Amino acid sequence: MDIKEIKFTRRDALKVTGAGLIASTAVTTGCTSTPEKVAGPLPVNGIMPWSNWSGNQVSYPAERARPRNIEGLVKLLKETDGKIRAVGAGHSFSGLVPTDETLLSMARFRGISYINKATKEVTAGAGTRLAALGDELWENDLGMINMPDINTQALAGAIATSTHGTGQQFGSLSHYVTGLTLVTASGEMMKCSATENKDVFDAARCNIGSLGIITDITMQMRDTYYLKERSEMLPLEEAFQKMEKMRIEKRHFEAYGLPHANHMLIIEFNEVSKEESDSKQGEASSGDAYETFRTLADVIEMMPFLRGAVMSIAPRTVGVEERYGPWNKIFGNVRDMRFNEMEYTVPAEDGLACFREVLNTIKEKDIDIIFPIEYRYVGEDDVWLSQFYKRAGASISVHNFHDKPYLPYFAEMEAIFDRYQGRPHWGKVHSKTEQEFAALYPQWEAFKEVRQRLDPKRRFINEHLEAIFPAKS
């Protein structure tokens, strides 16, 4: 095979650093992409398994609940005593969801229920997928202030983990929450906002499913808008020289560092007029990320000594690409390759140094990885357990194929993130325990007090959360 014939598109880099929609029949009703097909876990003793999108989290819930309305949810909580874990799109790589007791889907709580035209606040059901929310907002001439590039997530799940997009002047989705309804373990309904049950509101805007069940969320929106997306592959040092200026000047900015290569993909988003967008609107070629990256992986696996050459030649085939369109269509990207992921957020001022160390470590230690390293800036917020609490951040994500060992690689990266006081994304792989979180989050004890008050019987704690909120801490 001539490695010069391997085509590497900008879409290839993007597709493999996000995700489509979990194929679990328990909780999904459709998807916007066609992810790589994988063999799922088999039933055990007649119990159907649940697994997340990548397959690294599996459980065998004894009961599955899918209430039709708030009354049904309240009844469930009041009439049962066991543990309950809520599930959305199944896109968390950490062990937030698995349970052998009751798995609760909020898929029937979806769609916009209220729009305040004056304030541009919108209330939507907890199970609303971000893509569907974007479409409905567009029909009402409204837009999210920012949006992740993975739009298959459920709204409540995205809020619970402080999911984010990019742009130093923008916070995570949790930052834009102005109100929510929480049902506690006892079945009590609580309206929460900055003026009502404020301590619960501060905790619930990023709650990792440990406080209760959120049924609806009110968020601040804005008038609808159009975006231009521009991407360019640059030599590594040229990219690093431009990144600080770009994060200040561009509405949104992100980068993808290529392991074992001397190139980086730079992507910027800026707002444009409807007229400019309409005149240039069109879809960029999607390519086939799975075939491209599997081809690269296969070549390298057969001839490891070619890794550097392959990863250096392939990026040179990428030119400048531009896309125009409505905000919700430009933010969202198709994801068709399954993987596992770790993401940490370090202080924004340390971001480039940490990013360099990640890329240098991969090369110096000859780590067998070809997935791009994702780099984004996010503004600070006041959400107690947000990765961005009182600290603007640079978020760095590392990945590996779903069927490849990932823990040794992630451990190497986690050690780097720790040196920069990184905070892990709650929905991504990490090894942190309560003691470490207490040092990273100034409001840790305040959150624990709210959690204990709302859930004294620990109904919303599973095995993963036991390490984060031990019973006797």
Residue 42: the pLDDT is 77
How far apart (Å, rounded) are the C-alpha atoms in residues 231 and 325?
A: 15
Query: Structurally, what CATH architecture does the domain formed by 112-224 represent?
Result: 2-Layer Sandwich (3.30)
What is the chain's Cα-based Rg? 22
Contact 52, 90 (CB under 8 A): yes
pLDDT at 45 over 50: yes
Gap between the Cα atoms of 97 and 26, Å rounded: 13
Determine the Cα–Cα distance for residues 367 and 307; give it in Å rounded to an integer. 11
How is the beta sheet containing 339-347 ordered, strand by strand?
Answer: 321-326, 226-235, 263-272, 252-257, 373-378, 393-401, 339-347, 423-424
Cα angle: 113, vertex 114, 116; to 5 degrees: 165
**pLDDT tens digit string along 194-251?**
999 999 999 999 999 999 999 999 999 999 999 999 988 899 999 999 999 999 999 9
Q: Which residues contact 158 (CB under 8 A, 6 or more apart)?
A: 88, 130, 148, 173
CA 415 to chain centre: 21
Average pLDDT over residues 318-335: 84
pLDDT tens digits along 385-428: 999 999 999 999 999 988 899 999 999 999 999 999 999 999 99
Pure H helices in 112-196? 130-139, 155-160
DSSP string, 35-57: PPP-PPPPPBTTBPPEE-SSSS-
CB 124 within 8 A of CB 210: no
Residue 473's pLDDT band, with cuts at 50, 70 and 90, is low
Dig out the tokens for 220 from the structure: 């601040």
Token pair recorded at residue 296:
């690269």
Which of 24-28, 60-64, 97-101, 375-379 is predicted with the least confidence, judged by mean pLDDT?
24-28
Is residue 139 classed as helix, strand or coil in its secondary structure? helix
- The pLDDT value recorded for residue 13 is 53
261 confidence band (pLDDT: 50, 70, 90): confident
pLDDT digits (tens, 9 = 90+) for 130-152: 999 999 999 999 999 999 988 99
- Give mean pLDDT, residues 341-355: 98
> What pLDDT sits at residue 27?
28
If you ran DSSP here, which 8-state letter would residue 381 be given?
A: B
Domain 226-424 in this protein, CATH class: alpha beta
Query: 307-337 in b/e burial notation, b at 16+ Cβ within 10 A?
Result: beebbebbbeebeebebbbbbbbbbbbbbbb
Element (H, E) at 239: helix 236-249
Distance CA 146, CA 207 (A): 20
Pick from 69, 96, 61, 95: which is nearest to 183 by CA?
Answer: 69
Say yes or no: do domains 112-224 and 226-424 share a fold.
no
Indicate the SS3 state at residue 319: coil
Judge if pTM exceeds 0.85.
yes
Neighbours of 119 (CB within 10 A): 11
Hey, where are the domains in the chain?
A: 112-224, 226-424
Confidence of residue 31 (pLDDT cuts 50, 70, 90): very low
